[in-house]
Amino acid sequence: MKITKEQFKKDFRKRLREKFAIELEDSSETEQLVALGALVQAYYSDAWTDTWKEYLTNKKKQVYYFSIEFLPGKMLKSNLLNLGILTTVQESFKELGINFSAVCKAEPDMALGNGGLGRLASCFMDSIASCGLPGNGNGIRYDYGLFKQKFVDGYQVELPDEWLKGGNIWEVRKESKAVNVLFGGNVYLRENHRGQLKPVYENPRILRAVPYDTGMLGYENDVVNTLRLWSVEIPASEEYKYQSIEERRKLEDLTAVLYPDDSSEQGRVVRLTQEYFFVSAGMQSIVRYYKKIGVPMEELYEHIAIHINDTHPALCVAELMRILLDDEDLSWERAWDITVKVMSYTNHTIMAEALEKWPVHMMQELLPRMYQIIQEIDRRFLEEMAHLADQDLIERTRIIKDNQVHMAHLAIIGSHSTNGVAKLHSDLLRTVVLKDFSTLYPERFNNKTNGIAQRRWLQLSNEPLSHLLDKTIGCSWRKNPEDIHLLMNYQNDEAVLTGLGEVKWENKKRLADYILKTNGVAVSPDAIFDVQIKRLHAYKRQLLNLLNILTIYFELKDNPKKVMEPRVFIFGAKAAPSYTYAKTIIKCINEVANMINNDESINHRIKVVFLENYNVSLAEMIIPAADVSEQISLASKEASGTSNMKLMLNGAVTVATLDGANIEIRDAVGNDNIFIFGLREDEVYRYYESKDYSAIKTYEQNPMLQRVLNAFIDGTIPNIYREGQEVFDSLIKYNDEYFVLRDYDAYVETQRKVDATYRDTSRWQKMSLINIANAGRFSSDLTVERYAEDIWKIDSSKIIVGK
Ligand code: PLP
């Protein structure tokens, strides 16, 4: 949109008066934020309704992306950027004497997600709208987002994230679109007057699902899609059943918290209730809408695609069946055909504990109609496959077995597409984890490597680099991220390389100031900034990083004159509150940081900084400042990773195992511009088969490793009596499940190479440039276009400029 500064300033003052009956001069930053939010919403409100109308008139097929997590972070700057008025607002605020950054900071992070999976969903929302694709999100409006992390004595403490306390400036409550969702009670089938078997519900618990819609703005294209998040309420007809505050609270707790664990299901009944709640509400509202506009149910698959993001929304399959059978009177065969055509599923992990399974009795009690339908899907699956010789295979792939409902099986059997999120991951799905299914349905399996929205992760978070790119290669990359590749033409241009160095230094200075303010640790922007930011998980191997830090520490103690670049090791990570081992690692990192940062004899050669409360906003500050990107998971365990792509785009050089999308990053930049080390995935599998890995042998054969591990239990690292022993035991007594010790030597050696390479400044800057220049291919714009073409069969109604 186009607006002059004068008009904007007038509009803004007016909004402030309307909202708060206050003059600009007397307003607080929060009031300014709320007024600006309302104004921005008004600016895009016509585009929002026009987008819907356009999809409707042109009968555009739409995708609905069901995800139990969305992790957008702050939305103000992103909305202003996409509307094309960011600079106007920034300059107007300056003229009005308002601190724009402070107003942005006043917006709470919308953190309705744990990490990669939720953040991917949000990058997709941005890209789907920016590519002009008809697509919407469907999820849960948690009252509390992912917990706020504090460190007390080096331990993680979790505080509630009250992100809604000051109101949410972007959402619109859609009272008129509320639906009821039924739980529990008894369900039996009775023949109606037309001889059809229909369910009769006895004593169900009825919950009201109220949607809150948020506009998802496309980049400078007037497209505004919708993210619909559901909140629970008591239906008016049921008020009398909830007489005490406790009863009401218990019900309202359903959408109170996001489960702070993305790899195992907790709070089991509540979690399953949450899953069905947003699935049923979403499916009902979608079908109701298409029915209202006159779409014959038989043709539903020509109008909608439903995407199941990980197994949490897998009940979409059974719920659409329920609606088509019970409400729309379709035959089972017709309903099934439509459902399979409509549904698609993304698998996000090969970790067995993250493949959801629900006990049969729980599903029967909580979701009796769902269970009946799943039972029938399972029965028909067995019938359909009965002709196959391999009866074991059928037994392994059925949905209900061992008294559990296997949600991944439901998602695969009930959809036409199952994809992994990086080439290696998709290959492992096909050949190992879901091998049986790929034998049954080879045509359903495909790969869609994850991607990142370069608007947020470069344009917004790294303004200095964005300006350098504009100056060097022109501005087309802002619309077409692949054009960043034009930077390759400047890999030997001293001025550009120096410019990149200056940009990095400026970003490092900003982070150094933040570190001093928050952690009280002085770090120099001249040091290497070595970054590992991601959830704390054993397979991600933050511990390997820590072992290398201790190795360098001991080398410096032994030889204070050791030649090496000063380095700052920066961590950001939350541990699931119930994941004791991950919390133990946090404590150990914090204590090693204390030990090293306070050791005068180390003379500032290395520093260790663990930043509290890693979230999207913090990522936006850390990533542009990183020199080294640590992507050191045990090969085969990280499905894709996306921080690896973000760090690369911002000029960090990656230290990586050949895992997830690291492999594709290596392919993009070439072996000379990445530091690869460690076991490959086939070697890991070989160890699993041969069972001949001995951690203790590795330990006994390596004196430095012994010294490093002993430091955990001999008092060298202070204040970790219990935690040090736990870490030591995990490696030695329990034989090092994630092969940390096996990869230790290779990692330490690689880090020495990193050090030597960094000392050759122009070599390093060239590597950094090559990483930036080749990151365009990881744009989520490209990823969603592949989903749109291959899986969802939707297309853009807009001609996107620059494409
Ligand atoms: N958390 C946040 C806030 C992120 O921005 C990202 C990705 O950049 C992740 C988690 C996932 O990180 P990774 O891909 O390293 O697991």
Distance 615 CA to ligand 1 centre (A): 8
Residue nearest to atom 5 of ligand 1 (CA): 616
User: What is the CB neighbour count within 10 angstroms for residue 607?
Assistant: 22
Q: Given this model, what pLDDT does residue 785 score? A: 98
For the chain, give every domain's residue range.
Answer: 454-776
Average pLDDT of span 712-722 = 98
Catalytic residue (choose from 51, 449, 584, 642): 642
Residue nearest to atom 11 of ligand 1 (CA): 116
Question: Is the distance from the beta carbon of residue 642 to the nearest atom of ligand 1 less than 6 Å?
Answer: yes
Q: Given this model, what pLDDT does residue 265 score? A: 62
Average pLDDT of span 326-345 = 97
The answer to whether 425 and 640 are in contact (CB under 8 A) is yes
Distance 10 CA to ligand 1 centre (A): 40
Q: What percent of the chain has pLDDT over 90?
A: 93
The amino acid at 544: L
pLDDT tier, 713 (very low <50, low <70, confident <90, very high otherwise)? very high
Catalytic residue (choose from 61, 406, 646, 766): 646
Q: Which of 147, 460, 533 to mutate to test the pocket of ligand 1 (most atoms within 8 A of CB)?
A: 533
* H or E segment and range at residue 344: strand 343-346
Q: Rounded to 5 degrees, what are φ and ψ at 227?
A: -105, 115
Q: Is 676 left (phi over 0), alpha (psi -120 to 50) or beta?
A: beta
Q: What percent of the chain has pLDDT over 70?
A: 99
Q: How far is CA 792 from CA 60, 413, 785, in A?
A: 12, 17, 10
pLDDT digits (tens, 9 = 90+) for 62-113: 999 999 999 999 999 999 999 999 999 999 999 999 999 999 999 999 999 9
**The pLDDT of residue 264 is above 90:** no
What does the alpha-carbon distance between residue 343 and residue 412 come to, in Å, rounded to a whole number? Answer: 9
Distance 127 CA to ligand 1 centre (A): 17
Distance 114 CA to ligand 1 centre (A): 9
Catalytic residue (choose from 15, 312, 448, 535): 535
Distance 263 CA to ligand 1 centre (A): 14
pLDDT tier, 503 (very low <50, low <70, confident <90, very high otherwise)? very high
Catalytic residue (choose from 77, 534, 541, 583): 534
Distance 143 CA to ligand 1 centre (A): 22
Distance 185 CA to ligand 1 centre (A): 41
Chain centroid to Cα 543, Å, comes to 22
Q: Given this model, what pLDDT does residue 799 score? A: 47
Question: Is the distance from the beta carbon of residue 631 to the nearest atom of ligand 1 less than 6 Å?
Answer: no
- Ligand 1 atom nearest the C-alpha of 71 is 3
Question: Is the distance from the beta carbon of residue 135 to the nearest atom of ligand 1 less than 6 Å?
Answer: no
Question: Is the distance from the beta carbon of residue 615 to the nearest atom of ligand 1 less than 6 Å?
Answer: yes
**The pLDDT of residue 266 is above 90:** no
What does the alpha-carbon distance between residue 303 and residue 283 come to, in Å, rounded to a whole number? Answer: 14
User: Is position 646 annotated as part of the catalytic site?
Assistant: yes
Q: Which of 258, 535, 638, 643 to mutate to test the pocket of ligand 1 (most atoms within 8 A of CB)?
A: 643
User: Is position 540 annotated as part of the catalytic site?
Assistant: yes
Question: Is the distance from the beta carbon of residue 115 to the nearest atom of ligand 1 less than 6 Å?
Answer: yes
What does the alpha-carbon distance between residue 232 and residue 664 come to, in Å, rounded to a whole number? Answer: 42
Question: Is the distance from the beta carbon of residue 534 to the nearest atom of ligand 1 less than 6 Å?
Answer: yes
What does the alpha-carbon distance between residue 429 and residue 441 come to, in Å, rounded to a whole number? Answer: 13
Distance 539 CA to ligand 1 centre (A): 15
Residue nearest to atom 7 of ligand 1 (CA): 643
Any residues with CB less than 8 A from the CB of 493 and at least 6 apart, and which? Answer: none
pLDDT digits (tens, 9 = 90+) for 53-72: 999 998 899 999 999 999 99
pLDDT tier, 385 (very low <50, low <70, confident <90, very high otherwise)? very high
**The pLDDT of residue 735 is above 70:** yes
Q: Could you write out the three-class secondary structure of 273-326?
A: HHHHHHHHHHHHHHHHHHHHCCCCHHHHHHCEEEEEECCCCCCHHHHHHHHHHH
pLDDT digits (tens, 9 = 90+) for 398-410: 999 999 999 999 9
- Give the residue among 258, 629, 650, 226 at the shortest CA–CA distance from 452: 650
pLDDT digits (tens, 9 = 90+) for 759-800: 999 999 999 999 999 999 999 999 999 999 999 999 986 544
Residue nearest to atom 14 of ligand 1 (CA): 641
DSSP-assigned states of every residue in 183-246: ESSEEEEEE-TTS-EEEEEES-EEEEEEEEEEEEE-TTS--EEEEEEEEEE--GGGGGG--SHH
User: Is position 401 annotated as part of the catalytic site?
Assistant: no
Question: Is the distance from the beta carbon of residue 451 to the nearest atom of ligand 1 less than 6 Å?
Answer: no
Q: How far is CA 320 from CA 374, 419, 441, 787, 788, in A?
A: 12, 21, 21, 21, 21
User: Is position 642 annotated as part of the catalytic site?
Assistant: yes
> Which CATH architecture best describes the domain 454-776?
3-Layer(aba) Sandwich (3.40)
DSSP-assigned states of every residue in 404-461: EEEHHHHHHHTSS-EEESSHHHHHHIIIIITHHHHHH-GGGEEE----B-HIIIIIIT
User: Is position 425 annotated as part of the catalytic site?
Assistant: no
CA dihedral 630, 636, 638, 640 (to 10 degrees): 100
The mean pLDDT value of the chain amounts to 96
User: Is position 348 annotated as part of the catalytic site?
Assistant: yes
Distance 362 CA to ligand 1 centre (A): 33
* H or E segment and range at residue 686: helix 681-690
Report residue 130 as tokens. Answer: 């920016």
pLDDT digits (tens, 9 = 90+) for 588-644: 999 999 999 999 999 889 999 999 999 999 999 999 999 999 999 999 999 999 999
pLDDT tier, 802 (very low <50, low <70, confident <90, very high otherwise)? very low
Question: Is the distance from the beta carbon of residue 643 to the nearest atom of ligand 1 less than 6 Å?
Answer: yes
Decide which of 103 and 802 is more confident.
Answer: 103
Angle between helices 761-773 and 662-669 (to 10 degrees): 110
pLDDT tier, 262 (very low <50, low <70, confident <90, very high otherwise)? low
Q: Given this model, what pLDDT does residue 263 score? A: 64
Q: Looking at this predicted complex, what is its ipTM? A: 0.95
Task: Indicate the SS3 state at residue 553.
Answer: helix
Question: Is the distance from the beta carbon of residue 616 to the nearest atom of ligand 1 less than 6 Å?
Answer: yes
Distance 699 CA to ligand 1 centre (A): 32
Decide which of 351 and 547 is more confident.
Answer: 547
**The pLDDT of residue 396 is above 80:** yes
Residue nearest to atom 2 of ligand 1 (CA): 115
Angle between helices 463-473 and 494-519 (to 10 degrees): 170
